[in-house]
Amino acid sequence: MIARQAKSATLRAAETRAVLTSAINVARALSRRERLARARRAGLGSAGEVLGPLWPLLVYLPLVAGGALPRPEAISPLTYAALGYWTWSLLVDAALAPARGLGTYRAPTVAPVAAVLAGLLDAGRRTAVRTVILWPLAVIAAGGVDPLGSAWALAALGPALALAGGIGLILALWAAPWPDVPAGATTAARLTLLPSLVLFPLPETAWAWAATVLNPLAVFTDAARALALTGGMPQAGAVAAWSLIGAAALTLGLRGFVRLKPRLHDALA
């Protein structure tokens, strides 16, 4: 009996592995197709993708330098904005990737798992480009980073990505019948750029503190940046709380996705 159960579990695992391998191959093909097509259509070609991450800095840094927006005290504004924008973009991309994947690759012939994975691959590629562009700028402007702190910063991004991924999966599931939701969510996410400690600090007031700890984007962006540069972590309690919520959200999102996976095509049709 136990041997039979073990064999059945082994078969299920092999089947799942085969499905996942196939989905990853399809996702890679979809993502590659989209990348090639986008590069052909773009006015600046691949250069447009490289320049993309620099636009927010080019817009906001002059405002910070001119005193129109608050200036960070102990960190160079360029480092502050570059690391802040990198972290914020990573989290927003991770949250929107499943919905974007299902929206972009919503064809009857594409399995929903492959579509979501393709969305994540697209997000990963954009993150890689931003890393290559923004990190050198940040490090040069800061005159170096704390290596141990950087490792802690990357570790802190784990729960942040879990939260983003969990919320993203739930959003993708709910939004499956509405192809316009990912575009709306992208617009809404852009609005969070200003109050999320991404490009400039908020004043030290009670409302700003409340707005920060209630905003996971701000909490994790500020924490990761501070860890990488100084080794210290602001809002540790909020980070811990949001990390727990992130674990719960990811569990919920994955559970929902696995349970709804066979029905997703019906909703996407």
Query: Binding to other proteins by residue 252, rule CB under 8 A?
Result: yes
Which C-beta is closer to other proteins: that of 36 or that of 44?
36
Burial group, residue 70, by CB count within 10 angstroms (0-12, 13-18, 19+): middle
Least distance (Å) between residue 107 CB and other proteins:
6
CB atoms within 10 A of CB 210: 10
- Measured CA to CA, the distance from residue 247 to residue 77 in angstroms comes to 33
Q: Per-residue contact track with other proteins, 89 to 128, x per CB under 8 A?
A: ------------------xxxxx-----------------
Least distance (Å) between residue 240 CB and other proteins:
24
Least distance (Å) between residue 113 CB and other proteins:
12
- Measured CA to CA, the distance from residue 19 to residue 11 in angstroms comes to 12
Q: Which of 7, 17, 190, 259 binds other proteins (CB under 8 A)?
A: 259
Which residues, numbered 23-62, are part of the site for other proteins (CB under 8 A)?
25-26, 28-30, 32-34, 36-37, 40-41
Place of tokens 């170096």: 144
C-alpha Rg value of the chain to the nearest Å: 20
What number of chain residues touch other proteins (CB under 8 A)?
A: 36
Nearest by Cα to 174 from 102, 125, 226, 237: 102
Least distance (Å) between residue 188 CB and other proteins:
19
**Stretch of 67-75, 91-99, 229-237, 250-258 lying at the interface with other proteins (CB under 8 A):** 250-258
Which C-beta is closer to other proteins: that of 96 or that of 110?
110
- Measured CA to CA, the distance from residue 172 to residue 170 in angstroms comes to 5
Residue 10 to residues 113, 147, 233, 259, Cα–Cα distance (Å):
21, 42, 43, 21
Which C-beta is closer to other proteins: that of 111 or that of 141?
111
Query: Binding to other proteins by residue 263, rule CB under 8 A?
Result: yes
- Measured CA to CA, the distance from residue 136 to residue 142 in angstroms comes to 10
Query: Binding to other proteins by residue 180, rule CB under 8 A?
Result: no
- Measured CA to CA, the distance from residue 101 to residue 262 in angstroms comes to 17
Query: Binding to other proteins by residue 15, rule CB under 8 A?
Result: no
* Euclidean distance between the first and the last CA atom of the chain, given in angstroms as a whole number: 42
Instruction: Note the residues at the interface with other proteins (CB under 8 A).
Output: 22, 25-26, 28-30, 32-34, 36-37, 40-41, 107-111, 170, 173-174, 176-178, 252-253, 255-256, 259-260, 262-263, 265-267, 269
